[in-house]
Amino acid sequence: MRLQLAASAVLIAFLASCSAPKKLKESEARYTQLQSKYNTSQQALQDCNNELKKQNALSQQQITHLNAQIAQERANNDQMIGHLRDLSVISSSQAESIQKSLANINSKDAYIKDLQSAMARKDSLNMALVMNLKGVIGNMDDQDIDIKIDKGVVYIDISDKLLFKTGSYEVTDRAREVLGKVAKVLNNQPQIEFMVEGHTDPVPFARGVLLDNWDLSVKRATSVVRILQNEYHIPPARMTAAGRSEYVPVTTNDTAEGRSKNRRTRIVILPELDQFFKLLETPQR
């Protein structure tokens, strides 16, 4: 009996010693994977912070320039009124009336600052959106998908080779995975409306019901919109499908590489213009 117990103890110790290295290797592999994701997220955060600093610096330059212009206009107006009064071209009451009219510039200053503040808030929201998108998509090849901000608008460019087979408007399985990740972020921002644009190169194309590149670009846009609506439950009222054919290239069509970049589907995050319209409707005193 003792012999059997001893044998069992030895066997258990042996099995434990065999499983420990396996668990260690699994833990190391898991650690490496998590570290890679952490590094990717850190790089995305750094890129977004750098872009935000650049946007803020540009906005500050514009504000400084506008303030300088306003100050110069005030000085010119005061000088002009002084000259006119000295020359007796206008009466004191007329000068006072002109002065009151020019004083309205102060209220316009506040109005301009409100607009600038709204633009700054929108830039911050856009940067957060870009960071979220890059975070969920991960370290995908930049040639396949590109997320950027240009003139205050967020663009998501997805390459033709990732989404569709040549000359087809049927979305690939890999593209569905990418669209699902994009949809996850868009669903978390229910106030956002966006446009899905289909783009082609200038090589003539016609097949079946498709008469030309116009038809192909539109069908590709509507294919993406249907997937976002039917499979990822984005409300259709938030989306617009558009075909741009070959007429809005991002680079030259003189090379195969250039044509490949121009064949893309672009998701454009539409600006929330209602916020600016509300500011415009605010009565100025």
Is 11 domain-assigned?
Answer: no
CATH number, domain with residue 189: 3.30.1330.60
Q: Report residue 172 as tokens.
A: 């690939």
Whole-Å CA distances, 264 to 76, 144, 168: 52, 9, 13
Percent of the chain with pLDDT over 90: 21
Is 39 domain-assigned?
Answer: no
Domain total of the chain = 1
Quickly state the pLDDT bin for 92 (edges 50, 70, 90).
Answer: low
- pLDDT exceeds cutoff 80 at 273: no
CA distance 47 to 220: 31
Is 68 domain-assigned?
Answer: no
* Whole-number pLDDT of residue 279: 47
pLDDT digits (tens, 9 = 90+) for 178-233: 899 889 888 888 888 999 999 999 998 888 888 999 999 999 999 999 999 999 99
Is 14 domain-assigned?
Answer: no
Other Cβ atoms within 10 Å of 234 Cβ, number: 21
Is 50 domain-assigned?
Answer: no
* Whole-number pLDDT of residue 20: 63
Is 123 domain-assigned?
Answer: no
pLDDT digits (tens, 9 = 90+) for 16-37: 555 566 777 777 778 787 777 7
Whose structure tokens read 């020019």? Answer: 102
* Whole-number pLDDT of residue 142: 55
Quickly state the pLDDT bin for 51 (edges 50, 70, 90).
Answer: confident
Other Cβ atoms within 10 Å of 134 Cβ, number: 21
Buried b (16+ CB within 10 A) or exposed e, 175-214: beebbebbbebbeeeeebbbebbbbbbeeebeeeebeebb
Is 260 domain-assigned?
Answer: yes
* Whole-number pLDDT of residue 54: 79
Query: What is the extent of the structural domain holding 189?
Result: 128-277
Is 98 domain-assigned?
Answer: no
Per the DSSP assignment, residues forming a β-bridge with 146 are: 157
Global confidence as pTM? 0.58
